[in-house]
């Protein structure tokens, strides 16, 4: 009985519909005693409101009219077994045709019900695995390792292997634009493996209320999120540093729960953003307390050796997505890609290749197809213009002679720049500061120093504020 209680306790809630004989009442009492939650209804009419609260149904039928009611139970999304008296066994084929998954004949032993529910549970796991494996096959890519032969790529693959089964929480840290999802897929591939699903949530793409609901389902063991806790799988939250401190703490508490599947893994993507004024304290605390294994994603500029292989993989994926022919890079285009700094990492590389692929008609992508946009060329043209103009002046500077050439040059460029931007903003200094990416007070001071506006008295400035 103790073993049965342990197995039955996790089998869900049973609703028995139909007349109760002495044997059936004893069956429900035994199931209740063994730990299974049970409920009873004399007919489908009285039990219709309880269907949504149960996991499966035992339906006791005595005639053909009641067999017809099985369809209503199936339409409610509930799995059911038919319970018959020995003299009513003729109804068994009709019950199976109407949607019953099994037929139990009085007197029913509790172990028969437990075995039936176990079979449903195992079938659900198999369907879940097949559904996930099909989705993985559609991704059409190897997830076992990070592509590349550079030293940073090898260190990244080694860090992923070291995570093993020891750590339930994995903290993936990298710069903006890093391919966190690919790293999470490789981590998931190693453990818990492709027999379990990977659920991907993006903090930047979900409203706070939606993310809180997802975390609540995880905590309460409901929905796809809760299924991961019970049956195993990986939950990957990208840009986890954008979650509120309360949500981050809740995630850590859920990961530390006892009694959840040993195959559950929480992967947190932590984007290091130098533009953020305050960095989070909680995620680094997980690393400090050794409650999480940290995997550092190297920036693309440290993996120049891997860029040709990454570019080839991206182009293959693009061709599969759009259903077009596969295109290759010319040697000059490969050299061009490897020479760039790629401050936007894989995201910037993918955008550049997307653009080149869509604008190219042939089977190869040349260096001309990879050139920057017209906006970037304009910036380059400005730099070339000043370089040409300054070259002759710099050549005239005499060695050892003191000069204010630097200050004069910066002033000569800054003054017309501020004049033009101020004109473009209609004289609105706040708008001009935003266009320039400057602090408003800094802009106001520079305008005054360059004589572009008269100084504003202190009292007037305080009124403006």
Among residues 298, 320, 354, the one where a domain terminates is 298
| Range name among 82-86, 337-341, 385-389, 439-443 with the lowest pLDDT average | 385-389
C-alpha span between 369 and 6 (Å, rounded): 65
Shared-domain flag, residues 77 and 207: no
Shared-domain flag, residues 276 and 321: no
pLDDT (0 to 100) of residue 275: 44
Q: Tell me the pLDDT tens digit for each residue of 202-244.
A: 887 677 778 888 888 888 888 888 888 888 899 999 988 888 8
Shared-domain flag, residues 112 and 69: yes
Spell out the residues 6+ positions from residue 195 whose beta carbon is closer than 8 angstroms to its own: 129, 132, 133
CATH code for the domain of 359: 1.10.8.60
CATH code for the domain of 272: 3.40.50.300
Among residues 254, 272, 298, the one where a domain terminates is 298
Task: Check: pTM over 0.85? Answer yes or no.
Answer: no
Q: Tell me the pLDDT tens digit for each residue of 148-175.
A: 899 999 999 999 998 888 889 999 999 8
Whether residue 134 is contained in a domain is answered as no
Average per-residue pLDDT in the chain? 81
Is residue 108's pLDDT more than 60?
yes
Shared-domain flag, residues 417 and 292: no
Shared-domain flag, residues 177 and 273: yes
pLDDT (0 to 100) of residue 186: 92
pLDDT (0 to 100) of residue 396: 65
In the chain, how many domains are there? Answer: 4
CB count in 10 Å sphere of residue 239 = 18
Among residues 244, 271, 298, the one where a domain terminates is 298
Domain encompassing residue 86: 2-119
Q: Confidence band (pLDDT; 50, 70, 90) for 6?
A: very low
Q: Tokens 């809180």 label which residue?
A: 212
Whether residue 387 is contained in a domain is answered as no
CATH code for the domain of 52: 3.40.50.2300
Residue 437: exposure state from Cβ atoms within 10 A (0-12, 13-18, ≥19) = exposed
């Amino acid at each position: 009985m103790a073993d049965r209680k342990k197995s039955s306790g996790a089998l869900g809630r049973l609703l028995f519909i139909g007349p109760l004989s002495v044997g059936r009442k004893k069956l429900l009492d035994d199931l209740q005693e063994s730990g299974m939650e049970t409920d009873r209804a004399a007919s489908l009419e009285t039990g219709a409101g309880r269907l949504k609260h149960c996991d499966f149904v035992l339906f006791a039928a005595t005639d053909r009219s009641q067999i017809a009611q099985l369809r209503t139970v199936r339409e409610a999304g509930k799995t059911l077994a038919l319970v018959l008296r020995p003299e009513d066994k003729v109804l068994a084929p009709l019950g199976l045709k109407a949607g019953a998954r099994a037929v139990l004949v009085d007197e029913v032993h509790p172990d028969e019900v437990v075995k039936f529910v176990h079979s449903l549970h195992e079938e659900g796991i198999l369907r879940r695995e097949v559904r996930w494996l099909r989705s993985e096959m559609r991704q059409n890519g190897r997830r076992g390792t990070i592509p590349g032969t550079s030293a940073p790529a090898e260190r990244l693959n080694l860090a992923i292997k070291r995570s093993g089964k020891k750590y339930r929480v994995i903290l993936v840290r990298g710069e903006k634009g890093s391919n966190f999802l690919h790293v999470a897929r490789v981590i998931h591939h190693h453990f818990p493996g492709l027999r379990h699903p990977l659920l991907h949530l993006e903090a930047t793409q979900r409203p706070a209320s939606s993310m809180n609901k997802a975390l609540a389902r995880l905590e309460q063991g409901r929905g796809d999120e809760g299924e991961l806790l019970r049956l195993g799988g990986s939950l990957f939250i990208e840009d986890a540093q954008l979650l509120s401190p309360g949500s981050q703490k809740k995630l850590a508490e859920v990961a530390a729960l006892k009694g959840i599947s040993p195959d559950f893994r929480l992967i947190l993507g932590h984007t290091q953003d130098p533009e953020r004024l305050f960095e989070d304290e909680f995620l680094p605390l997980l690393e400090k307390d050794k409650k999480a294994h940290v995997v550092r994603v190297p920036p693309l500029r440290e993996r120049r050796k891997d860029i040709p292989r990454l570019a080839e993989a991206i182009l293959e994926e693009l061709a599969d997505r759009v259903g077009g022919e596969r295109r290759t890079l010319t040697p000059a285009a490969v050299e061009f890609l490897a020479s760039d700094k790629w401050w936007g990492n894989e995201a910037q590389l993918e955008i550049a290749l997307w653009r080149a692929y869509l604008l190219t008609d042939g089977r190869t992508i040349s260096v001309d197809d990879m050139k920057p946009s017209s906006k970037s060329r304009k910036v380059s043209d400005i730099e070339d213009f000043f370089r040409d103009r300054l070259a002759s002046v710099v050549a005239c500077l005499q060695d050892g002679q003191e000069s204010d050439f630097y200050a004069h040059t910066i002033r000569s460029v800054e003054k017309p720049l501020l004049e033009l931007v101020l004109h473009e903003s209609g004289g609105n200094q706040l708008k001009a500061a935003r266009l320039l990416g400057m602090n408003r007070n800094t802009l106001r001071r520079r305008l005054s120093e360059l004589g572009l506006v008269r100084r504003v008295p202190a009292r007037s400035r305080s009124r403006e504020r």
